[in-house]
Structure 1
């Protein structure tokens, strides 16, 4: 079993390297197998499909959103957004796995936990269900604009303040306390 876990982790790490270097469109099972010097069919021993592999990649991306256990909901949202933007096409990978209900559903669980410190659990769950699409959608838009700016197609735009403001508006609408996000990241 440990060998299987190690094999899965090695595959996910290689998939992330390909994602960062070439983007989601070029993250194919064939390219991944070549990177690992194995046959493509060997990958299916660890992952039943490419979608299941992408869910594991998405979980790894989201897991990198390090926040304290007692973090404010706005800080959790910012950390999630930063984790998505840290990888080329990271927002698209996580968005697609969330749309297919694959993976560990960490974005919703992390936001619901942060909201539950101020709201009843059912309201926290509902609030997380509202915040997750906002985080994913905003990060996806920001990532596309960043990539377009890198190609010289549009002027670079810092959307960090707009994102933070949007999160705070949603939190205020939920009746959750709104503390200005303390995270100093920019993206």
Structure 2
């Protein structure tokens, strides 16, 4: 049976969710599709390109944040972008590790960063700080979610004796980061820094 690139990416995502990132190999993927490993290279030129495509698919399937809105509501929109990214990552096993790797290698998964920059353009940050603020938020979400997924999976596999964590401090940590950005945005302007309230997402 002939396969299309979409079939390859969809099956790779299923392998990721079932077996984890370490077992997402070209050989296993080929076996799932009942083709020779060499046949996959007609659709993706390398393992790295495959991982980037799977990361983009994870993000595509996740909720779409509200990027456009009133300029004064940019802190709430930052929270929305970050929360939607976390939700997308938590939907699939090892998705935070996958997207972190792809972002670090500069191979793709760039939609969340672009969304953060689009929102931060309304914040009035001093020159040059918008890219750094966007990367800081992105790293916080990826790192926090990676920690959550790793701890949960290690506990489920019996690798650690820790009980499941009673809750997540993601919302509190996100609020701290966004408050810091709001403080920088308020420097040199009248008024007081924005205090951001965020929902405590589970």
Assess same fold via TM > 0.5.
yes
Moved more, 97-106 or 171-180: 171-180
Tell me whether 1:111 sits opposite 2:109 in the alignment: no
Q: Is the Cα–Cα contact under 8 Å of residues 58 and 97 in structure 1 kept in the other structure?
A: yes
Gap change, CA 1:98 and 1:174, over 3 Å in 2: same
Larger Rg: 2
| CA deviations over 1:87-136 (Å, ceiling 9, x no partner) | 10101100111111111411211122222233358433221011111111
Aligned to 1:68: 66
Aligned to 1:86: 91
- The TM-score with structure 2 as length reference comes to 0.80
Task: Name the CA distance, whole Å, in 1 between partners of 2:5 and 2:144.
Answer: 30
- Any stretches of 5+ residues in structure 1 without a counterpart? 1-5
Q: CA RMSD in A?
A: 2.0
Aligned to 2:46: 49
Q: Is the Cα–Cα contact under 8 Å of residues 67 and 115 in structure 2 kept in the other structure?
A: no
- Any stretches of 5+ residues in structure 2 without a counterpart? 69-75, 186-193
Aligned to 2:189: none
Tell me the CA shift for residue 185 of structure 1.
4.4
Question: What's the secondary structure of 2:4's corresponding residue?
Answer: helix
Q: Is the Cα–Cα contact under 8 Å of residues 52 and 102 in structure 1 kept in the other structure?
A: yes
Aligned to 1:95: 100
